[in-house]
């Protein structure tokens, strides 16, 4: 059974329509990530699912039950926010158990669930501390633990890692992936970070301007983007886009990812001048100004030494070259 159905959901704030008809079915146990640029409506969609905002029209169905008019607390969901939203005066243990206590759950049951969740999230050493005595990563684990103890039908995450530094983001991302595997729960996760989307999602929903551009498994979006927007949004560094006419092609735009271009000092399709080389350790990003293609990024495995001003020839892999029509759709 699907655990969530979003049926033609529209949402306006005053005159401004920020969700323009969203349809999505999420299967039981699925991990779905909403990505898109700032302002595309991903948080608003999450808040409509949670019941923190009412849709202007359309329906939200959770486990076969229309919850469009059900208050948030009765939807069987738990939400984890970017800002943790912990009570500063309560210990970790009481923060985690508070929702259950308010719902009248017997204290033995609360203790059992808090103990299980804190073991799962390695929070046992901190149960008697207050949030101010924890690191950002630990606070976010408490916020996740508070969601876990409620045993919700649906977990909603709103950019939960964006306040953490890079190393902690990677760790906490891994913990969320393991949590999903262990609980087999349905999870919806909002982020603007495409690496988080690629690594966590069973399916990614790419939003843009209040509409869905494409829904698919991470590698499906990477290998077969439906349009120029998705091609440019998924993948890092970003896909190179070259005006079709410059390459003598009738399409509007030709796209090729930086990792699908070879370079050679003597021969190739496009003659380029090295503008800059970025050494990342495991790979090198080369910026080349090419006669035919203009400024492109090439990603090479390992260390590649190239002096600015040197000439290099670039050849895109014809099997991995994408073509887009005037409406942006792939042709």
Ligand X SMILES: Nc1ncnc2c1ncn2[C@@H]1O[C@H](COP(=O)(O)OP(=O)(O)OP(=O)(O)O)[C@@H](O)[C@H]1O
Site map (CB under 6 A) of ligand X, residues 182-201, x = contact: ----------x---------
Which of 194, 312, 206 lies closest to 264 in space, CA to CA?
312
Phi, psi of 56 (to 5 degrees): -75, -40
Q: What is the CA radius of gyration of the chain?
A: 23
Which of 309, 330, 319 lies closest to 259 in space, CA to CA?
319
Task: For ligand X, give the closer residue by CB, 54 or 111.
Answer: 54
Binding span for ligand X by CB under 6 A among 38-46, 173-181, 251-259, 311-319: 38-46
**Cβ distance 261 to 319 under 8 Å?**
no
Least distance to ligand X from the beta carbon of 189, Å?
A: 12
User: Binding residues for ligand X, how many (CB under 6 A)?
Assistant: 11
Task: For ligand X, give the closer residue by CB, 82 or 172.
Answer: 82
Which DSSP letter does residue 327 get?
Answer: T
Q: Segment 8-27, which members bind ligand X (CB under 6 A)?
A: 13, 18
Least distance to ligand X from the beta carbon of 163, Å?
A: 13
Among 4, 35, 41, 253, binds ligand X (CB under 6 A): 41
Among 40, 48, 149, 161, binds ligand X (CB under 6 A): 40
Least distance to ligand X from the beta carbon of 235, Å?
A: 19
Binding span for ligand X by CB under 6 A among 35-43, 91-99, 270-278, 282-290: 35-43
Which DSSP letter does residue 329 get?
Answer: B
Q: Does 39 bind ligand X (CB under 6 A)?
A: yes
Task: For ligand X, give the closer residue by CB, 11 or 260.
Answer: 11
End-to-end CA distance of the chain: 35
Binding span for ligand X by CB under 6 A among 25-33, 39-47, 138-146, 213-221: 39-47
**Cβ distance 279 to 303 under 8 Å?**
yes
Q: Does 326 bind ligand X (CB under 6 A)?
A: no
DSSP per-residue letters across 80-94: E-TT----TTS-HHH
Task: For ligand X, give the closer residue by CB, 172 or 191.
Answer: 191
SS3 32: strand
Q: How far is residue 38's CA from residue 305's CA, in Å, rounded to a whole number?
A: 36
Least distance to ligand X from the beta carbon of 192, Å?
A: 5
Which of 267, 301, 266, 309 lies closest to 285 in space, CA to CA?
301
Give the contacts of 103 (CB within 8 A, at least 6 positions apart).
none
Q: Does 38 bind ligand X (CB under 6 A)?
A: yes
Q: Segment 212-271, which members bind ligand X (CB under 6 A)?
A: none
Write down the residue that tokens 């399409």 correspond to: 251
**Cβ distance 36 to 72 under 8 Å?**
no
Task: For ligand X, give the closer residue by CB, 134 or 205.
Answer: 205
Q: Does 51 bind ligand X (CB under 6 A)?
A: no
Q: Does 44 bind ligand X (CB under 6 A)?
A: yes
Contacts to ligand X by CB under 6 A = 13, 18, 36, 38-44, 192
């Amino acid at each position: 059974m699907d655990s969530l159905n979003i049926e033609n959901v529209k949402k306006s704030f005053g005159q401004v329509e920020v969700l323009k008809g969203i349809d999505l079915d999420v299967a039981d146990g699925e991990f779905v990530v909403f990505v898109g640029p700032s302002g595309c409506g991903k948080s608003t969609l999450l808040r409509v699912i949670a019941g923190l905002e009412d849709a202007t029209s359309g329906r939200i169905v959770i486990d076969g039950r229309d919850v469009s008019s059900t208050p948030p607390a009765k939807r069987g969901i738990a939400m984890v926010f970017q800002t943790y939203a912990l009570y500063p005066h309560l210990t970790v243990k009481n923060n985690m158990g508070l929702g259950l206590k308010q719902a009248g759950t017997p204290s033995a049951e609360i203790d059992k669930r808090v103990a299980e969740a804190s073991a799962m999230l390695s929070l046992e050493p901190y149960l008697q501390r207050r949030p101010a005595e924890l690191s950002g990563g630990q606070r976010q684990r408490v916020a996740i633990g508070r969601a876990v103890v409620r045993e919700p039908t649906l977990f909603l995450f709103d950019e939960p890692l964006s306040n953490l530094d890079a190393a902690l983001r990677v760790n906490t991302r891994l913990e969320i992936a393991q949590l999903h595997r262990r609980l087999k729960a349905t999870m919806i996760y909002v982020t603007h970070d495409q690496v988080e989307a690629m690594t966590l999602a069973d399916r990614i929903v790419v939003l843009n301007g209040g509409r869905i551009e494409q829904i698919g498994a991470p590698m499906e979006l990477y290998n077969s983007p439906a349009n120029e927007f998705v091609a440019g949004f998924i993948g890092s560094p970003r896909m190179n886009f070259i005006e079709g006419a410059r390459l003598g092609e009738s399409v509007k735009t030709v796209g090729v990812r930086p990792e699908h271009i070879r370079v050679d000092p003597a021969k190739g399709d496009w003659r380029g001048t090295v503008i800059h080389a970025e050494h990342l350790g495991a790979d090198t990003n080369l910026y080349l100004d090419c006669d035919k293609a203009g400024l492109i990024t090439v990603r090479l495995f390992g260390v590649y030494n190239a002096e600015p001003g040197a000439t290099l020839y670039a050849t895109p892999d014809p099997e991995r070259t994408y073509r887009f029509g005037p409406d942006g759709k792939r042709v």
